[in-house]
Amino acid sequence: MYRGKTIGVVVTAYNEESFVGEVIETVPAFVDRIYVVDDASPDGCWDVIQRVSARINDNATPERAVADGGESRRVVPIRHAENRGYGAAVKSGYERAVADGIDVVAVMNGDGQMDPEILDRIVDPVVAGEADYAKGNRLRNPGDRRGMSTFRFVGNALLTGLSKFSTGYWSISDPQNGYTAISSDAIEALDLGAVTDEYGFLNHLLTHLNVRGFRVADVPMRAVYGDEESSIRYVTFIRFVSTLLLRSFLWRLRVRYVRHEFHPAVLFYAAGSVGLLAGTAGFVGSVVEAARDGDGLTASMTAVLTLLVSTMSLAAAITMDAEENEALEVTYDERDSTPTGDRDRIER
């Protein structure tokens, strides 16, 4: 129990035999229940999970138990029969936690990259009712990203930019950060079956949260990397997530700005996108014409003007989109600061 709320932690694991045991053992004492989900690891991960869970459960006191039909385990091991993806592992933990009556559910990966000592900072916005979902952010403060390689930083920065379009949370950064917390009410309101099971889960979940009008908090945290090896295949991951973000962006516009209530931002997005494509094609055509006939000035000027107007249209769309979603964003300037701005909930 933490500040009057029951807290659960989902620990996701795939081929984390060397790290997952320590992650389970270092989960803070205020956490009522730990759901360790092994996504069909081919290594000895499941054996470690069972052994550590049994030891912790044997030493658990009755008052640490969550009321769920008399079960007194503090650690609940869950194993997928086949590998289903990171998102599926998180969903399995979410669903079990909601069934157990947990109020706030955090997620920590089994690779040891998430500092258990700051778990209270991650769950605080949700426990206090300031947000429905909270996530770590390693990019906001320069000092926090010192442990992040240039490759990781550039990749995260690019995904942050693309995710702003997709999710509608324009001041939220580091969308790939899996150190998160969510209220049970939000879990039950979301259609988890419509959220991808793959590693794009975190980005896709943010889009679904936005469409449902949930508030998201960005909590600064330090980047931590050790000797773990990522199971992500980056070329496949980037291709999959880029396509997912584009589909999510179009889906969000259709649901929020067309189906629910018409918003002019969708017109500016459409006009700007079409104009950019037409202007780019026109400019390329004018260059080809100039090279062939030596006369492409008029076409070039028309293309440049089209590109300029299209850029202005997209800028207007982004501005309107950001203003529409500002009430859903809770950001922190420093680790111990209070959230900035007026963050009233918008009607779902």
pLDDT for 156 equals 72
Tell me the mean pLDDT in the region 124-130.
96
> Is residue 142 predicted with pLDDT exceeding 70?
no
Mean pLDDT of the chain: 86
Tell me the mean pLDDT in the region 145-174.
81
> Is residue 201 predicted with pLDDT exceeding 60?
yes
Q: Are strands 33-38 and 75-79 parallel, antiparallel or unpaired?
A: parallel
pLDDT for 302 equals 86
Sheet of strand 180-183, all strands in order from the earlier edge strand to the far edge: 75-79, 33-38, 7-13, 104-109, 180-183, 133-137, 216-220, 329-331
CB 32 within 8 A of CB 66: yes
Rounded CA separation 206/211 (Å): 9
Q: What predicted TM-score, i.e. pTM, was given to this entire model?
A: 0.86
> Is residue 141 predicted with pLDDT exceeding 70?
no
CB 106 within 8 A of CB 133: no
Nearest of 154, 155, 232, 249 to residue 198 by alpha carbon: 232
Long-range contacts: 46-49, Cβ < 8 Å, 24+? 46/77, 46/79, 47/17, 48/17, 48/20, 48/21, 49/13, 49/20, 49/21, 49/24, 49/77, 49/79
**Could you give the percent of the chain with pLDDT greater than 70?**
82
Locate 3 and state its tokens: 């500040």
Rounded CA separation 202/90 (Å): 10
